[in-house]
Amino acid sequence: MNDDDLPAVLPTLLPRLWRFALRLTQNQHDAEDLVQRACVRALERRNQLQPGTSALSWLFSIVHSTWLNELRSRSIRSRGSMDWQDDEIESFADPSGHNPEVDLMHRQVIRAVESLPDAQRVVMVLVAIEGLSYREAAEVLDVPIGTIMSRLSRARLTVGQQFGVQAPASARKGEAL
């Protein structure tokens, strides 16, 4: 893919970018703003998209860095306005299923992932939800692949423990036998 293809491909990637932004921001309005800012940035800098690079990974990286910049600017300036609070974030459960037990389970899993520390949540979203490889996630977040593996392992253990899944003994370092 080259930079001339980006305007044609970008609309097809928007749903995945929006889901990623929603998981980062945990707020529908912030996610919409974040995707818009990231798309503008991507289009302005499309010449930086290297041939052979996945456009989706490159865009995830832009969304993530734009979000980090937003967090930094929020911590610098005082909060003079009220944050939006949505009662419920959209569930990605199959609406045709209408199985209350499955819907409840989906909401519980989403809440468990959302309660993870930011670094673990972002890795979980990129790898487990968006399907990026460990290498692609490492490139998006600009961290070593070992960091991705470690964060994902801790995230999976944390989510599993919330559902009563006992970690294997090899994963419980420092725990007394």
Domains of the chain: 1-77 (1.10.1740.10), 97-165 (1.10.10.10)
Confidence of residue 152 (pLDDT cuts 50, 70, 90): very high
> What is residue 37's predicted lDDT score, i.e. its pLDDT?
93
Instruction: Write out pLDDT tens, residues 18-32.
Output: 999 998 888 899 999
Of 76-80, 96-100, 126-130, give the lowest mean pLDDT range: 76-80
The reported pTM is 0.59
6-20 burial, b for 16+ CB within 10 Å, e for fewer?
beeebeebeebbbbb
Average model confidence (pLDDT) for the chain? Answer: 80
Query: CA distances (Å), 168 to each of 10, 160, 163, in order?
Result: 42, 11, 15
Dihedral of the CA atoms 139, 145, 147, 151 (nearest 10)? Answer: 90
Check residue 99 and give its pLDDT. 65
> Who wins on pLDDT, 81 or 157?
157
